[in-house]
Amino acid sequence: MVTGIVAGRLALVTGAGSGIGRAACQVLSREGATVIAADLNYDSAMETIKTIPLASGANAVGDHSAIELEVSQSASVQKALDTAMEHYKAPPTIIVNSAGIVRDNWLLKMSEEDFDKVVAVNLKGTFLVMQTFAKALTAASLPGSIINISSIVGKYGNMGQVNYVGSKAGVVGMSRVAALELGKSNIRVNAILPGFIDTPIIKSVPEKVMKEFLARIPLGRQADPVEVGELITYLASEKSSYVNGAVIDIAGGL
Ligand code: NAP
């Protein structure tokens, strides 16, 4: 018998091969969910699966699995859904959009290619995954919870990230629309805004800039990705059954 606040649920996590996505898989599985770890890099998604114990027990949906997924390509997203349906005979009722990239530069120097790439993964990717998986949930008349990972900079802006900030502000707007449209199907959609989380994506932040940011964080430190996984799992669970269309900072007070 699996126990926990998401026991017996099936979760799809994108960007699951690293950082927040990997931590989300770990906390969701600790709380009883079966996890589909999806990432551009299949091997890293499989590495994530190897870090979590087998899902076993009468109420478990099945064992965890890893899939290759390019979130910006609709055919790849559809294939991920088809694979999940074939394997588990039902769509995931928890969907976590954690895949994301940065390609930083100043506004005056940003190439069109880097702008398009970041928007394609962070914004369009979130759209495609939400649309594809929410369609499957409504077709099966299943309730669900979608958690989109935006960023605190989507709210306040950040120099050198015109593409990233634009994409993350867009994720907030899209999440609000999705919450309005999907609420009647009992599919909740929420966005979270992480601050500085200790994952590979922030390794490119120059040390001087990082020091300045740390000085502005009231808690005085970066977060462990597991702390973000805890919030994701709360939003995935029925503990947050009346939380819908919310935009929640997880930034240590930044
Ligand atoms: P991360 O460690 O770099 O993880 C991102 C994961 O997404 C990587 O495994 C990456 O795979 C995967 N990915 C990239 N492009 C993809 C695509 N097109 N399709 C599928 N998967 C793709 O970064 P993270 O810190 O965990 O970030 C997770 C989310 O949180 C992102 O949306 C990020 O913008 C957001 N966020 C992070 C922070 C922070 O401080 N860490 C703050 C605010 C928001 P590869 O490594 O193979 O490319």
Residue 1 lies in a domain: no
Ligand 1 centre to CA of 119 (Å) is 13
Query: Which of 12, 13, 14, 20 has the most ligand 1 atoms within 8 A of CB, as the residue to mutate?
Result: 20
Atom of ligand 1 nearest to the CA of 20: 26
* Count of domains observed in the chain: 1
% of the chain exceeding 90 in pLDDT: 90
DSSP 216-227: H-TT-SPBPHHH
Residue 154 lies in a domain: yes
Task: Point out the least confidently predicted range of 60-64, 66-70, 101-105, 176-180.
Answer: 60-64
Query: Which of 36, 201, 213, 221 has the most ligand 1 atoms within 8 A of CB, as the residue to mutate?
Result: 201
Ligand 1 centre to CA of 90 (Å) is 26
- In the predicted structure, residue 199 carries a pLDDT above the cut 90: yes
CA angle in degrees (0–180, nearest 5) for 45-125-76: 60
Ligand 1 centre to CA of 122 (Å) is 9
Closest C-alpha among 96, 135, 127, 32 to residue 235: 96
Which residues 6+ apart lie within 8 Å of 113 measured at CB? none
% of the chain exceeding 70 in pLDDT: 100
Mutual angle of helices 19-30 and 42-50, in 10-degree steps: 40
Mean pLDDT, range 126-151, rounded to an integer: 98
- Model-level pTM? 0.98
Closest C-alpha among 36, 37, 125 to residue 73: 125
Mutual angle of helices 19-30 and 225-236, in 10-degree steps: 50
DSSP assigned state of 156: H
Confidence band of 203 (pLDDT split at 50, 70, 90): confident
- In the predicted structure, residue 140 carries a pLDDT above the cut 80: yes
CA distance 7 to 229: 16
The amino acid that residue 53 corresponds to is: P
CA-closest residue to ligand 1 atom 26: 19
- In the predicted structure, residue 172 carries a pLDDT above the cut 80: yes
Residue 183 lies in a domain: yes
* pLDDT of amino acid 71: 99
**Could you tell me the CA-to-CA distances from 192 to 83, 84, 225 in Å, in that order?**
28, 25, 13
Residue 4 lies in a domain: no
Residues annotated as catalytic (active site), given as ranges: 164
Which residues lie with the beta carbon below 6 Å from any ligand 1 atom?
Answer: 14-15, 17-21, 39-41, 44, 69-72, 98-101, 121, 125, 149, 151, 194, 196-197, 199-202
The count of other CB atoms within 10 Å of the CB of residue 202 is: 16
Ligand 1 centre to CA of 138 (Å) is 28
Residue 18 lies in a domain: yes
Ligand 1 centre to CA of 118 (Å) is 11
**Token duo for residue 51:** 């870090």
Confidence band of 59 (pLDDT split at 50, 70, 90): confident
Which residues 6+ apart lie within 8 Å of 97 measured at CB? 14, 15, 71, 125, 126, 129, 130, 146, 147, 148, 149, 171
Q: Could you list the residue range(s) of the whole structural domain that residue 210 is in?
A: 10-250
Q: Is the dihedral of CA 227, 232, 235, 239 positive or negative?
A: negative
**CATH code of 64's domain:** 3.40.50.720
The count of other CB atoms within 10 Å of the CB of residue 90 is: 15
Confidence band of 146 (pLDDT split at 50, 70, 90): very high
Residue 173 lies in a domain: yes
110 exposure class (CB count in 10 Å sphere: 0-12, 13-18, 19+): middle
pLDDT tens for 39-49 read: 999 999 999 99
Residue 216 lies in a domain: yes
Closest C-alpha among 166, 152, 149, 159 to residue 232: 149
